[in-house]
Amino acid sequence: MADRRLLMIPGPIELEPDVLTALSEKTRSHVDPTFIEVFGRALGRLREVFLAPDAQPFVVAGSGTLAMDMAAANLVEPGTRALVVDTGWFSARMAEILARWGAEVVRVGAPIGGAPSLDEVAATLARGKFDLVTITHVDTSTGVRADVEGLARLAKAHGALVVVDGVCAAAAEVLRMQAWDVDVALTASQKAIGAPPGLAIVMARPAALARHRARKAKVPSLYLDFAEWLPIMEAYEARRPHYFATPAVNLVAALDTSLGLLIAEGMEARFARHARLAGAFRAAWSAMELSLLPRPELAANTLSAVRYPSGADAKLVAAIGKEGIVVAGGLHPEAKAEYFRVGHMGAISPSDVVAVVSAIERAFRAAFGQERRGLAAAQAAL
Ligand SMILES: *Cc1c(COP(=O)(O)O)cnc(C)c1O
């Protein structure tokens, strides 16, 4: 029997049938006029999804980590000072990437499940000159959502560029890239943006492009250099052929289809749907007497990081799988064995919430003999 389990991890996610159809179309030449049209349209659609008419999109083959690398490669030169707002393991990865490109990195963090306050970040900014501030919009290892708007305002007041890792947030959590003056926002195709894994997406606004142009030395990596890709992206948007490195033709077609669906739903409606469904999950966790890894006021709308209650452990993940739902284990090295994660982004509906919560109820019963009822609370919230 075909695998009919519902994929509810924090990426990759369940895909819309139209997206899968686009993926399976005959592979065209990357300079075929019909593909140029698709790629050009997808680039324009990304500006709508990020609410940033003045941003330059870069779409290249790679994962979210490559998007992080691309942002860092273009903005960092030896001695660049970067402040990393540290909300978990992916923030730590950003710090590592920045350091590898030669940045002097200062991390401002909090105990696991927390986030530094705006005052703490402001105090660090006041103590030294920073060229960059990086923010993980949702840290997938902790389920913590950062206050991008507030942090961006602080960073701007100190003259720093703002880089947002939106891999587990973009197209689901509210991000007003231009209104909030975020300079770079990045994501990957397999998360809330709703396409298969394989594309790195970097949105760069004018101040970030200007910083790149003002570099003393070339970007050491050819593949990551904005200067190599900018003429390519501009050519596709102008519906002209131009080659630097072969685009992932089928993935771009799938991305374009997904972006079309997102825009048809409307970004505000999409943000609201994610908030509503996440609220229903949180109502269920609380009725089941399960606590979250993140501080409650920081809990993301794209995933839940839920602690195992006493008497239960990581065997729960496999038990939920047997009930037809694929969820993920813990990821943060300090607390890996203490929690599991349910992704709730993309094309999910109230019926999916009901299916997931009832499967988790059955798994608690089957694996640990525990009665934990969350379905009625989820239904009421829906
Ligand atoms: C998934 C994720 C990444 C890494 O993306 P990959 O596609 O796995 O390389 C980076 N940052 C965040 C916040 C993520 O959730």
DSSP state of 333: T
**In this predicted model, what pLDDT tens digit does every residue of 178-230 receive, in sequence order?**
999 999 999 999 999 999 999 999 999 999 999 999 999 999 999 999 999 99
Q: What is the total residue count of the chain?
A: 382
**Which residue's CA is the closest to the ligand 1 atom numbered 3?**
64
Distance of CA 238 from the midpoint of ligand 1 (Å): 30
Please report the atom of ligand 1 found closest to the CA of residue 191.
Answer: 1
List, in sequence order, the alpha helices (H) in 222-266: 226-237, 249-265
pLDDT at 4: 87
Distance of CA 178 from the midpoint of ligand 1 (Å): 23
- Please state, in angstroms and rounded to a whole number, the distance separating the CA atoms of residues 295 and 55: 33
Distance of CA 168 from the midpoint of ligand 1 (Å): 7
Q: How does DSSP assign 200-234, residue by residue? A: EEEEE-HHHHHHHHT-SS--S-TTT-HHHHHHHHH
pLDDT at 248: 98
**Which residue's CA is the closest to the ligand 1 atom numbered 6?**
64
**Which residue's CA is the closest to the ligand 1 atom numbered 2?**
167
Distance of CA 260 from the midpoint of ligand 1 (Å): 23
Q: With CA atoms as reference, report the closest residue to 352 among 289, 277, 267, 270.
A: 277
The answer to whether the beta carbons of residues 189 and 195 sit under 8 Å apart is: yes
Residue with tokens 């109230």: 350
pLDDT at 1: 63
Please report the atom of ligand 1 found closest to the CA of residue 138.
Answer: 13
Q: What is the mean pLDDT of the chain?
A: 97
pLDDT at 288 over 80: yes
Mean pLDDT in residue range 166-188: 98
**In this predicted model, what pLDDT tens digit does every residue of 302-329 receive, in sequence order?**
999 999 999 999 999 999 999 999 999 9
pLDDT at 64: 98
**Which residue's CA is the closest to the ligand 1 atom numbered 1?**
167
pLDDT at 2: 75
DSSP state of 351: H
Mean pLDDT in residue range 72-94: 97
Specify whether the backbone of 22 is left (phi greater than 0), alpha (psi in -120 to 50) or beta.
Answer: alpha
